[in-house]
Amino acid sequence: MGVVIWHLLASKEEEEEEEEEEEEEKQKEKEEEEEEAVVLIVVVVFVVVVVVVVVVVVVVEVVVVVVVVVVVVRSAAAAAAVVVAAAAVVVVVVVAVVVEVTVVVVPVVVVVPVVVVVVVVVVVVVVVVVVVVVVVVVFVVVAVVVVIVLVIDDDDYDDDEEEEEEDDEDGDDEKDDDDDDDEDDNDDDDRDEDEDGHKNDDTDDDDDDNDDDDDDDEDDNDDDDRDEDEDGDKNDDNDDDDDDNDDDDDDDDDDDDDDDQNNYGKATPNHTFQIH
């Protein structure tokens, strides 16, 4: 009997030990499951933080590019510069995300203690957030500087264009004034032209003098014409000479007639005339 009781007690102790071991194993499994759950939660939080940071960066880039560059500046060069900077920021963020995921996933796969995993994840998230914030700040500063420089250049270019346009307008006005003055002078010259086509008063005076001389010559010619007589002589002296010549001719004719009458009826040495 004593031996039987001893075996029963020994069996009972073994069963209790086995039960305790099973409970310990279950407890360990439970703890491991809890640790895995915590790791999963940490990974989810990490991914959410990274996604939020990336979204913020993209929103800031879009705001800077669209609002500042397209709406305010409207400069293709500024837009290109900001887009290049935004692409650089995206590359940095992507690299940071890859590093974070690698650092978080490796401890989970290798089954590192939960505390170590949590600490590593927190440190990585903080570092990535700081890096992304610094990159975004640098990006915004560079974009603003580029925009300001381009805006100043555009303003200077616009001012130069306005000055050139004003100079061109002034030059056109001066040319118009000169053209108007030339037209006025030409109009005055045209108004000074007379029927002979001369443009100034001096020429008109010369023309008047020439006209007066021509009129005087015509008057003299008319007087000479009026002085002409039937013989075609042009002056009184010639007319007197013609009258004297006519008188002499008349006297000669009378003398000839007298001589004829005296000789009528007389005999010449070779002829004999009879008077009936």
Residue range 179-221, pLDDT digits in tens: 555 555 555 555 554 445 444 444 444 444 555 555 555 555 5
Write the burial class of residue 39 (CB in 10 Å: 0-12 exposed, 13-18 middle, 19+ buried).
buried
- pTM over 0.85? The answer is no
Question: Of the candidates 146, 133, 134, 132, which has an alpha carbon nearest to the alpha carbon of residue 100?
Answer: 132
Least confident piece of the model among 48-52, 57-61, 210-214:
210-214
pLDDT value of residue 262: 52
Are 53 and 92 in contact by the 8 Å Cβ rule? The answer is no
C-alpha of 197 from chain center: 48
- Cβ contacts of 151 within 8 Å, gap of 6 or more: 73, 75, 78
For residue 227, what are the contacts with CB-CB under 8 A and spacing of at least 6? 234, 235, 236, 239
**Confidence (pLDDT) at 229:** 46
Q: Per-residue pLDDT for 116 more than 60? A: yes
Tell me the C-alpha distance between 134 and 122, whole Å. Answer: 18
Give residues with Cβ within 8 angstroms of 145, minimum separation 6: none
In the prediction, which pLDDT does 237 show? 47
Which band of pLDDT confidence, cut at 50, 70 and 90, is reported for residue 127?
A: confident
**pLDDT category, 163, cuts 50, 70, 90?**
low
Q: What is the mean pLDDT of residues 254-268?
A: 51
Looking at residue 74, the DSSP 8-state letter turns out to be -
